[in-house]
Chain A
Amino acid sequence: DIQMTQSPSSLSASVGDRVTITCRASQRISTFVNWFQQKPGKAPKLVIYGASSLQSGVPSRFSGSGSGTDFTLTISSLQPEDFATYYCQQTYNIPWTFGQGTKVEIK
Chain B
Amino acid sequence: EVQLVESGGGLVQPGGSLRLSCEASGFTFRSYWMSWVRQAPGKGLEWVAHIKQAGSEEYYVDSVKGRFTISRDNAKNSLSLQMDSLRAEDTAVYYCARVGVVHCYYIDVWGKGTTVTVSS
Partner-B contacts on A (CB < 8 A): 30-34, 36, 38, 42-46, 49-51, 53, 55, 87, 89, 91-92, 94-101
Cα–Cα distance between A67 and B46 once the two chains are bound (Å): 23
Interface bits B25-39 vs A (CB < 8 Å: 1, else 0): 000000000000100
Partner-A contacts on B (CB < 8 A): 37, 44-47, 50, 59-62, 95, 100, 102-108, 110-113
> Residues of B contacting A98 with CB < 8 Å?
44-47
User: Given contacts A43-B112, A49-B108, A55-B108, are A87 and B44 in contact (CB under 8 A)?
Assistant: yes
> Residues of A contacting B106 with CB < 8 Å?
34, 46, 49-50, 89, 91
> Residues of A contacting B102 with CB < 8 Å?
49-50, 53
A50 in complex: contacting residue of B50, B61, B103, B112, CB < 8 Å: B103
B59 and A87 within 8 A (CB): no
> Residues of B contacting A94 with CB < 8 Å?
59
